[in-house]
Amino acid sequence: MRPADRVLTILMLAAGAFGLSFADAARLRQANAPASTATAELVERLRLTDPVLFTEARYTRHPTQADLQSAFQDHPVALEHFPTGSLLPPPAGILNAYEHLDRKAASPD
Amino acid sequence: MLELTNIRKAFNQGRHNEYWALSGIDLAIPERKVTALRGPSGSGKTTLLTILGCLARPTEGRVRLKGEDISGLPERFLTEIRRQTFGFIFQQFNLIRGLSAIENVVLPAYPTGRPRKVLLERAEALLADVNLGHRRDAKVEWLSGGEQQRVAICRALINDPEALIADEPTANLDTKLSKEFLGILERLAASGRTIILTSHDPMVVESAVVDHVVTLRDGQIVDEK
Amino acid sequence: MNTWIEKQRHLIDFTVASLARRKGKNLGLLSIYGLLVFVLASVALYTHALRAEATKVLAGTPEIVLQRLVAGRHDLIPPGYIERIGRIRGVQKKEGRLWGYYYDSVVKANYTFMVAPGMKIARGEIVVGPALERSRGLAAGNGISFRSYSGELHTFIVADVLPQSSELVSADLVLMHEEDFRAFFKYPEGHYTDVALSVANPQEIKNVAVKLMNALPDSRPILRDEVLRTYASIFDWREGIMLALLAAAILAFGILAWEKAAGLSAEEKREIGILKAIGWETGDVIKMKFWEGLLISLLAFLLGYIAAYLHVFHADAVLFEPVLKGWAVLYPRFTLTPHIDGLQIATLFFFTVFPYTAAVLVPIWRAATTDPDTVMRG
């Protein structure tokens, strides 16, 4: 086989495998759907709030349930001790959780 | 076949090191004949060869190929004319290192888009013709000087050009190989090709194969016979 | 058309043959390049799938979780607190949750102890998550003792193990009866960890939260929406490791591209001159180089992506485990369901294939526009 055809064949095979990966993803999604539904049901039944990603610290095991400031280790610029802490952002909405009330208290009327 | 009128060629034009390599050349290259350009180094014969072979454009003057003025054509067309009409054999052979002999031979035909099978068959025939059939897959840097030149000749012939242009073809060859080259030259001339070469090797210029000798000096033709 | 195709194949023939001359170097380049794509694609696939899966399974998390804060820290819900919430319109159900952490010094892992509201568990029995099954070798019917914080040993019988397929949310759970939980932690009677509220109408949730904060200023409502948003943005590109990876990758690529752009050797320049002299047009030379850039970068992208796909979805992202694990001993082993963000992959494709091809072409352009007669004057 001439060099061009050899390379183009490899490229075609790779492109085929690339396409196949999407088909495989669809298949896996379908296959995992029942388990995924069962997990969602478990979350609802047990009133769970967080996935088990990192068990090493409270604020990484339950980031959304952590103390208001502990996503920053009690202080906004505290040095991070746990490696996974650097993988996690502060939970959504934590920064302005009390803005509504604080603004009310601060307004000089 | 080729007609030059009042060709002048400058290098570094407009700068302090401006230099006129050719100053007023009028020359007609006869078809199906062997023309040799001779002269001392610096006489402008290589520059003249690049203009004849459409590798370069003259600064002034006209080039006519079969009566058609080609000196004003844009690069694309010039390249196409060059590919169809001329085959080149360079002094340093200019083969692409790392590629095999046969791959080097078919290179000029790539832009034509002719089928690979046809190209390989033709290349093999050409190599066999110069007794290099057994070396087709050897990398060119492993070939001897004479073999390299024969590969370069095959490469020049792959597109079946009407004219062959050779720059100092025997400069890197010993007497035996030069004789061999003249043999090949004879066969090519006999097949009806126009051949233009530069040389200051008397063995080439004075050989019976050469029909037409043009002598240059300081960018001008001093003798023609 | 056929001539055009044949010509491109010729150009590829030449490109491949000339790449094959420096086989080691070019294969090395391809594999480093592919590795770069592999790392970036692995991160992209993993984080996107995790985000998608987390927000999907957490869709049923309580609408509002109410914490009580003392001095900015989470504190217990005292007796009577739930009643003080009173009747807020839209709240269907209020329910105290009981959960806490337990450090198991035997395997040096943290567990989440929890009272399961929706599950019947007898006194003295526990239901454990799949990670405990692994780390402590537990199975239904086994007994296990935990030393409580007050120093006593409590022995439980494992009634059941939660299914492995739910490991993403249940790996470290130890579910038990309420009285066992209170006895184990000496949790004061009538106190709760926090309160889960269900709100039927999603539009009402915000209003309910505002009313809660007004009624109980020391409380902190955590809305389902916040939970989902937290996990929708987890492993964002801004996160430390991701940023470090990205920066390293971009830097590496920069070096690669620079090397390519500046590295047009005299040999290559000479070859371009030869090709032009023997009848190649400038366009042919550029097309040939374009194929070189495209073949290498496309192949690197495809191979890197396929390897990343297999790594993340068929090998459980083993290479990420040490990074994600941190100091934790208990690591959930979940098989991610592939959710692929087409736009993300398209972006990755664009940023890996396009710049490289361009980096190859730019210096060639300059070299290819030189006059072909330069070869004659060697």
Between CA C197 and CA C94 the distance in angstroms is 5
Give the end of a domain, one of C198, C232, C266: C232
C377 touches chain B (CB under 8 A): yes
Q: Which residue of B has its CA nearest to C4?
A: B113
Among B96, B104, B120, the residue to mutate for chain C (most C Cβ within 10 A): B96
Q: What is the pLDDT of residue A15?
A: 96
C 7-26: CB under 8 A from B: 7, 9-11, 13-14, 17-18, 20-21
Q: Let me know whether C293 and C156 are in one domain.
A: no
Q: What is the pLDDT of residue C240?
A: 56
The reported pTM is: 0.85
Partner-chain residue, chosen from C7, C274, C371, that has the shortest CB–CB distance to B111: C7
Name the residue range of residue B201's domain: 2-224
Chains A, C: CB pairs < 8 Å: 239
Percent of chain C residues past pLDDT 90, beyond the cut: 30
pLDDT at C263 over 70: no
Partner-chain residue, chosen from A35, A51, A87, that has the shortest CB–CB distance to C54: A51
pLDDT at A72 over 80: no
Handedness of CA B97, B103, B105, B111 (dihedral sign): negative
C239 touches chain B (CB under 8 A): no
Q: Let me know whether C363 and C310 are in one domain.
A: yes
Contact B62, B2 (CB under 8 A): no
A95: chain C residues, CB-CB within 8 Å: none
- pLDDT tens digit string along C276-333? 888 888 889 999 989 998 999 999 999 999 999 999 999 888 888 777 776 777 778 8
C21 touches chain A (CB under 8 A): no
Q: What is the pLDDT of residue A76?
A: 47
C5: chain B residues, CB-CB within 8 Å: 113
Q: Let me know whether C85 and C185 are in one domain.
A: yes
What's the 3-state SS for chain C? CHHHHHHHHHHHHHHHHHHHHCHHHHHHHHHHHHHHHHHHHHHHHHHHHHHHHHHHHHHHCCCEEEEEEECCEEECECCCHHHHHCCCCCEEEEEEECEEEEEECCCCEEEEEEECCCCCCCCCEEEECHHHHHHCCCCCCCEEEEECCCCCEEEEEEEEECCHHHHHHHCCEEEECHHHHHHHHCCCCCCECEEEEEECCHHHHHHHHHHHHHHCCCEEEEEHHHHHHHHHCCCCCCCHHHHHHHHHHHHHHHHHHHHHHHCCCHHHHHHHHHHHHCCCCHHHHHHHHHHHHHHHHHHHHHHHHHHHHHHHHHCCCHHHHHHHHCCCCCCCCCCCCCCCCHHHHHHHHHHHHHHHHHHHHHHHHHHHCCCHHHHHHC
Q: Let me know whether C113 and C162 are in one domain.
A: yes
Give the end of a domain, one of C232, C256, C274: C232
A 65-84: CB under 8 A from C: 65-70, 82-84
Partner-chain residue, chosen from C5, C14, C376, that has the shortest CB–CB distance to B46: C376
Q: Let me know whether C39 and C110 are in one domain.
A: no
C4: chain B residues, CB-CB within 8 Å: 113
For tokens 């010509």, the residue is: C7
Contact B62, B125 (CB under 8 A): no
Interchain proximity C376–B116, CB inside 8 Å: no
- pLDDT tens digit string along C31-54? 888 988 898 898 889 888 988 999
- Give the mean model confidence (pLDDT) for residues C218-233: 87
Q: Let me know whether C270 and C364 are in one domain.
A: yes
- Give the mean model confidence (pLDDT) for residues C338-364: 86
pLDDT at C154 over 60: yes
Q: Let me know whether C36 and C99 are in one domain.
A: no
Q: Let me know whether C207 and C330 are in one domain.
A: no
Percent of chain B residues past pLDDT 70, beyond the cut: 100
Q: Amino acid letter at C353?
A: V
pLDDT at A109 over 90: no
For tokens 């004075």, the residue is: B206
CATH number for the domain spanning C77: value is: 2.40.40.20
Continuous H helices in A1-82:
3-46, 58-61
Q: Angle at Cα C66 formed by Cα C61 and Cα C69, nearest 5°?
A: 140
Split into its structural domains, chain C has a count of: 2
Among A28, A49, A68, A80, the residue to mutate for chain C (most C Cβ within 10 A): A49
Q: Identify the segments of chain B with pLDDT beneath 70.
A: none
Q: Let me know whether C67 and C52 are in one domain.
A: no
Residue C110 pairs with which residues in a beta bridge?
C103
Please indicate whether residue A56 or residue A93 has the higher confidence score (pLDDT). A56
Q: Let me know whether C262 and C174 are in one domain.
A: no
- Give the mean model confidence (pLDDT) for residues C252-267: 71
Question: How is residue C44 written in tokens?
Answer: 């992209």
pLDDT at A107 over 60: no
Q: What is the pLDDT of residue A96?
A: 63
Split into its structural domains, chain B has a count of: 1
Give the end of a domain, one of C216, C232, C248: C232
Q: Let me know whether C203 and C247 are in one domain.
A: no
Question: How is residue A11 written in tokens?
Answer: 């490229």
Name the residue range of residue C322's domain: 2-58+234-377
Q: Let me know whether C291 and C333 are in one domain.
A: yes
For tokens 């040799």, the residue is: B36
- State the DSSP code for A87: G
A9 touches chain C (CB under 8 A): no
CATH number for the domain spanning B71: value is: 3.40.50.300
